[in-house]
């Protein structure tokens, strides 16, 4: 990893002492605002875990809220202005603006680390925490590149690390019920699945914006992490990085973990045989910097035993799936979701696997008595966080169902679509999961992570 900066290490103060680079006036202002962290009854002291959070603005706030029964022991964000709300509320937490310093100073006091940074930093932070033997909860997508996902999954499995990826729908009770329905054969053989999202809701199909001065409260070098050295822009950080090749994974990487996850799980789809992508660009110059505005990605999966081959199509941006025969005109598609086309019944499902419903409604009513008889084979849990935290306490990686043995292959699948997109419209890749090759020289280079000097995994 990047060599520790001595100035920052000294800024951390003596052991057990937190530091903050935010002016007290900013913290006071954040404290006066309505708290983003509602009161939660903590567990008894003997049952609480010490948790460290890397990334405490945006998505990080939701992840902190999900773990507040335990000790919010350490908080780290490269932008302390963005993290002001958490810093003001958890004023006893140890505070850092460099995750390397956090792990160096208080890593031995942590039971788990929650990673909520931009995608390009997920792998290096997660691996560093696992190498200290810490349980990790890492936001989706697990990594920015396929090779990173493979390395994290292998390390976690070989070292029995308790892990969870932040695709909350994997713990949704309705989603687990739908998995049970499909595995029980209620839809018959499913040959085709359509998944869609209205994302991106951030800019894509654009060239990199001009450089701006780095805010005084931001550690831009640590924000870049292993990504290529590049100037700061407020049009990239803190939110719009998702559309840039170097930092994010576009709409597919952002949302497929909430959508594709469910058919992959229910139909027990392994690695795809073939991936193809179609899209257009209004500005050809944008190809060097960002994902296109809208894509259609087609995955082809082989037969699995007595289960037939499956075609899974992903639609994002302005693209929507074709309206299937039998779907009532008054039934409105949600902003994101999944349609299963079975040879017995068809089913629609919202984002996060919620609200599964056979259609048309006459078929739902016909199937209802049998659906009620489908056995519960998957556990029901109070939340995605609680499932992970229970696994941490029990030191049992299998208790967290979106652990890296599941999340790693799912991430590889998602990122194959991203790789095909980066190669260009009309790209068709044939995936060999053993050699991690695609039949395309340019794509094969993109499968592997490449870090700026001084960073490694």
Average pLDDT over residues 283-299: 98
Please report the sign of the dihedral spanned by the C-alpha atoms of residue 52, residue 54, residue 59, residue 60. Answer: positive
What pLDDT, on the 0 to 100 scale, is given for residue 31?
57
What pLDDT, on the 0 to 100 scale, is given for residue 29?
62
Beta carbons of 167 and 141 less than 8 angstroms apart: no
Separation in Å, CA 203 to CA 75, 236, 239, 299:
29, 9, 10, 25
Reported pTM:
0.93
What pLDDT, on the 0 to 100 scale, is given for residue 163?
99
Please report the sign of the dihedral spanned by the C-alpha atoms of residue 31, residue 36, residue 41, residue 44. Answer: negative
C-beta atoms surrounding 360 within 10 Å: 16
What pLDDT, on the 0 to 100 scale, is given for residue 32?
58
Return the higher-pLDDT residue of 427 and 8: 427
What pLDDT, on the 0 to 100 scale, is given for residue 25?
56
Res 24 pLDDT > 80: no
How far, in Å, CA of 3 to CA of 15, rounded? 20
Res 16 pLDDT > 70: no
* pLDDT digits 0-9 by tens, 54-107: 999 999 999 999 999 999 999 999 999 999 999 999 999 999 999 999 999 999
HSE toward the beta carbon, residue 100, CA cutoff 13 A: 17
Average pLDDT over residues 435-454: 97
Average pLDDT over residues 130-141: 98
Q: What is the chain's mean pLDDT, rounded? A: 93
What pLDDT, on the 0 to 100 scale, is given for residue 1?
38
What pLDDT, on the 0 to 100 scale, is given for residue 34?
67
Res 11 pLDDT > 70: no
Res 33 pLDDT > 70: no
Confidence of residue 35 (pLDDT cuts 50, 70, 90): confident
5-14, 149-158, 288-297: the lowest-pLDDT one:
5-14
Confidence of residue 13 (pLDDT cuts 50, 70, 90): very low
Give all strands (DSSP E) within 11-132, no chain letters. 50-54, 71-76, 94-96, 112-115
Percent of the chain with pLDDT over 70: 93
How far, in Å, CA of 145 to CA of 339, rounded? 28
Domain architecture of the chain: domains with CATH: 6-170 (3.40.50.720), 172-213+240-377+409-447 (3.30.360.10)
């Amino acid at each position: 990893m990047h060599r520790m900066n001595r100035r920052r290490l000294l800024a951390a103060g003596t052991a057990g002492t937190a530091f903050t680079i935010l002016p007290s006036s900013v913290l006071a202002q954040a404290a006066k605002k309505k708290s983003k962290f509602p009161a939660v009854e903590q567990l008894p002291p003997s049952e609480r875990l010490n948790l460290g959070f890397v990334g405490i603005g945006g998505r990080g706030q939701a992840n902190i809220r999900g773990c507040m029964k335990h000790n919010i022991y350490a908080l780290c964000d490269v932008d302390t202005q963005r993290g002001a709300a958490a810093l003001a509320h958890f004023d006893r937490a140890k505070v850092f603006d460099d995750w390397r310093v956090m792990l160096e100073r208080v890593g031995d006091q942590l039971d788990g680390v929650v990673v909520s940074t931009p995608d390009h930093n997920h792998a290096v932070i997660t691996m560093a925490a696992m190498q200290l033997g810490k349980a990790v909860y890492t936001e989706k997508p697990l990594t920015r590149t396929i090779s990173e996902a493979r390395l994290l999954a292998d390390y976690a499995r070989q070292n029995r690390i308790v892990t969870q990826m932040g695709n909350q729908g994997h713990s949704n009770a309705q989603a687990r019920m739908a998995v049970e329905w499909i595995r029980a054969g209620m839809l018959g053989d499913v040959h085709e699945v359509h998944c869609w999202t209205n994302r991106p809701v951030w800019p894509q199909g654009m060239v990199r914006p001009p450089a701006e001065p780095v805010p005084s409260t931001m550690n831009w070098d640590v924000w870049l992490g292993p990504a290529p050295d590049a100037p700061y822009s407020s049009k990239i950080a803190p939110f719009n990085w998702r559309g840039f090749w170097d930092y994010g994974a576009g709409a597919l990487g952002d949302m497929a973990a909430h959508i594709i996850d469910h058919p992959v799980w229910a139909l027990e789809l392994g690695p795809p045989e073939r991936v193809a992508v179609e899209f257009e660009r209004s500005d050809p110059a944008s190809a060097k910097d960002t994902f296109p505005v809208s894509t259609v990605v087609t995955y082809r999966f082989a037969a699995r035993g007595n289960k037939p081959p499956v075609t899974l199509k992903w639609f994002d941006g302005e693209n929507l799936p074709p309206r299937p025969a039998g779907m009532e005109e008054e039934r409105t598609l949600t902003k994101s979701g999944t349609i299963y086309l079975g040879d017995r019944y068809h089913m629609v499902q919202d984002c996060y696997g919620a609200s599964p419903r056979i259609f048309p409604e006459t078929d739902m009513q016909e199937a209802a008595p049998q659906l009620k008889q489908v056995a519960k084979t998957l556990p029901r849990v109070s939340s995605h966080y609680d499932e992970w935290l229970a696994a941490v306490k029990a030191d049992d990686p299998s208790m967290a169902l979106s652990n890296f043995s599941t999340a790693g292959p799912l991430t590889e699948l998602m990122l194959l679509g991203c790789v095909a997109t980066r190669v260009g419209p009309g790209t068709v890749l044939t995936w060999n999961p053993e050699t991690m090759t695609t039949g395309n020289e340019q794509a094969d280079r993109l499968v592997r992570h490449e870090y700026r000097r001084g960073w490694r995994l």
